[in-house]
Structure 1
Amino acid sequence: MAEQEFGQLDVRYLNHAALALPNGGELYYEDSGHGPALTILNNFYIVSPIWRNFTNELAEDFRLVHYDLRNQGASNPGTEPVTFADHVEDIRRLLDHLGIEKTYLVGTSISTIIAREFTLKYPERVAGMVLVGPAFSPNGGLRRKLISRSWLASLESGGTKQLFGHLYPLVFPDQMIHAGGTAAYLALKDNFLSLLSVGSIRENLLASLDVEDDPELLGTITTPTLIINGDGDFAWSESVVDDALARIPNSEAVTLRHAGHVPFFDDPAGFQKAVAAFVHKLEAATPTVEAVAVGA
């Protein structure tokens, strides 16, 4: 994405669809298009409307569902503290509400853990899983938790302003930072500060610390899995990608050049091409009801 476009990101809330949650909460969601369903999960630092900027090509072939996490953006957490298990169960609630029996899950950064946990718990509901810039490691959870604690420390000492300063040089690749310069930095910072609250980020980061990244459980994933990484991702090196492919059955990987931890920002076309190719391949390999009947 060209640096001049960062100030033009569409983050408008265009509809008012909401799913009622237990304890008085609700989920804001957007549901559009036709075809196989793609359910896209926010990480802790973006809101649902932003996906319209990175899915225009996917919208031509797929049904796109995305939503704010229950304590984020236009969603409401309700009366109880939010746990990571709530985020996992909210996917099930939303799919049930929309009448979606099976979906492709797309997670980014920390929401790859939400996708992973949902897929492990409800494998029959997931046709394929796309992990974009995963926050977890196939080798264990220690590094992730150390990073999350450092982000919490920045949040507590200087609010969302200091946290953004901490995240920006990690999340975005060398090429984008130098090409975008001050203009891109200020545009993204303005969006970050205006859309996110200290409370929701703190609650989500603390909840994520209670989740264990057991490498052995990755071997039990039966769902076809695509890993999309930028070659400038601070979290996963090429060898970590290899470790993940060795642990997750039926997995494959795509690396996008000149992209970082959120490669859909840096290369929206490459991101959408990789997701579309993955889903189309799996759809083509899935027998239709008519084909099964004829074969029987």
Structure 2
Amino acid sequence: MTRPVDGIRKLHVAGDLSIHVEERGSGPVLLFVNNFFANVDSWRSRTEELAERFRVVTYDMRNQRNSSIDLGVSWDDHLADLHGLIQDVGSEPVVLVGSSISTMLCRDLLRRYPNVARGAVFVGPAFSPYGGRRRKATVRTWLALLAAGGPAQLFEQLYSTVMSDETVERLGGAGFSGMRAAFVSDHESEPTRANLLSCLDAPDVPQLLQELSCPIQMLVGEADFQWYPSALAEVERLIPDCRTAVLPGVGHLPYMEAPTEFQRVIGDFVDSLAVETTCERLAGGADQVI
């Protein structure tokens, strides 16, 4: 049984626009940032163990299920909403968890406001350590599919790209049909298009990763089409404090295909941040004594 939601609220972000926010659990804050094809429901059953130990905060972006529609939304608007939510959550630095395109939102937020987070988990990042030409070409392909056949046609391409071969075979035709129906129910063409257009303005310069000052946990699937070993090695070179976990037999969305291991990696990462903070405080106290 899914743990009940402890708090639901609407957070005003601009004009008459608001975003839907949910919270479960207590303790250090884990703030999950949706990719453009997820919503708060995507996390509920996949963060159960984390909600036993942490305060899990999830929200729907503009143009997602429970939040306001904004067909003129920009990348900076999404960044401002995320920053506003962090301020609303409280004064303690959070740990961000981004997936796919939202890892780039987390990256840009941490560059602008380096003190808002103790660390971040980048799950199947959409950025590349080499540049953004392929990402932008992929987004334009998605926009073309959406225009031609609506969310159903877009889903067909997404499914074959983000899921591992093993999962596609295991779910079969019935699994595919069920997931497509859910996707179509959750995604309207124009709001989805607006969010996709906004990310075309996101910067793709690899050197931006060098500006990240907090610890970063890379969490990728072994079968992710983008994250082959040399790409991981390059991103580890670029990010000053980078740890990497690769889940075997998993594709672009580890939280869907391996939720238990997904939660274990995140929990271990947050625990390591607590240990490092304690050690820094002890070292600082020792320096004062000396």
Verify the 8 A CA contact 1:228 1:255 in the aligned structure 2: yes
1:117-136 mapped onto 2 (5 Å cutoff):
117-136=108-127
**1:222 aligns to what SS in structure 2?**
coil
Q: Over aligned residue pairs, what C-alpha RMSD do you find?
A: 2.1
Question: Using a 3 Å threshold, how does the CA distance of structure 1 residues 257 and 208 change in structure 2: closer, same or farther?
Answer: same
TM-score, with structure 2 as normaliser: 0.93
Tell me the residue number matched to 2:14. 22
Q: Matched residues in 2 for 1:98 and 1:160: separation?
A: 33
Q: Matched residues in 2 for 1:196 and 1:41: separation?
A: 17
Question: Using a 3 Å threshold, how does the CA distance of structure 1 residues 122 and 258 change in structure 2: closer, same or farther?
Answer: same
Verify the 8 A CA contact 1:109 1:134 in the aligned structure 2: yes
The superposition leaves residues 142-189 of structure 1 with CA deviations (integer Å, 9 ceiling, x where unpaired) of: 110011111111001000010001110101000000011012111211
Letter in 2 for 1:68: D
Question: 30, 36, 42: which one pairs with 2:28?
Answer: 36
- TM-superposed CA distance for 1:36, in Å, is 1.1
- TM-superposed CA distance for 1:16, in Å, is 4.4
Which is worse superposed, 273-282 or 283-292? 283-292
Verify the 8 A CA contact 2:6 2:24 in the aligned structure 1: no
Question: 42, 55, 71: which one pairs with 1:63?
Answer: 55
Verify the 8 A CA contact 2:101 2:125 in the aligned structure 1: yes
Which is worse superposed, 121-130 or 280-289? 280-289
Tell me the residue number matched to 1:254. 245
**2:211 aligns to what SS in structure 1?**
coil
Q: Matched residues in 1 for 2:16 and 2:6: separation?
A: 23
Question: Using a 3 Å threshold, how does the CA distance of structure 1 residues 73 and 221 change in structure 2: closer, same or farther?
Answer: same
- TM-superposed CA distance for 1:117, in Å, is 0.6
Question: Using a 3 Å threshold, how does the CA distance of structure 1 residues 281 and 120 change in structure 2: closer, same or farther?
Answer: same
Tell me the residue number matched to 1:73. 65
Structure 1 residues not aligned, in runs of 5+: 1-8
Is 1:203 aligned to residue 187 of structure 2? no
Is 1:157 aligned to residue 185 of structure 2? no
**2:264 aligns to what SS in structure 1?**
helix
Q: Matched residues in 2 for 1:25 and 1:118: separation?
A: 21
Q: Matched residues in 1 for 2:7 and 2:134: separation?
A: 39
Structure 2 residues not aligned, in runs of 5+: none
Letter in 2 for 1:102: P
Verify the 8 A CA contact 2:222 2:250 in the aligned structure 1: yes
**1:255 aligns to what SS in structure 2?**
strand
Q: Matched residues in 1 for 2:284 and 2:115: separation?
A: 21
Q: Matched residues in 1 for 2:181 and 2:7: separation?
A: 23
- TM-superposed CA distance for 1:99, in Å, is 1.6
Q: Matched residues in 2 for 1:118 and 1:84: separation?
A: 11
TM-score, with structure 1 as normaliser: 0.91
Verify the 8 A CA contact 1:37 1:100 in the aligned structure 2: no
Tell me the residue number matched to 2:267. 276
Count matched residues.
286
Letter in 2 for 1:156: A
Is 1:46 aligned to residue 38 of structure 2? yes
Q: Percent identity?
A: 36
- TM-superposed CA distance for 1:49, in Å, is 2.0
Question: Using a 3 Å threshold, how does the CA distance of structure 1 residues 94 and 288 change in structure 2: closer, same or farther?
Answer: farther
Tell me the residue number matched to 2:87. 96
Tell me the residue number matched to 2:132. 141
Q: Matched residues in 2 for 1:53 and 1:160: separation?
A: 24
Tell me the residue number matched to 1:223. 214
Question: Using a 3 Å threshold, how does the CA distance of structure 1 residues 291 and 245 change in structure 2: closer, same or farther?
Answer: closer
The superposition leaves residues 48-93 of structure 1 with CA deviations (integer Å, 9 ceiling, x where unpaired) of: 1220111011111111001000221110145x72111111111111
Q: Matched residues in 2 for 1:85 and 1:43: separation?
A: 15
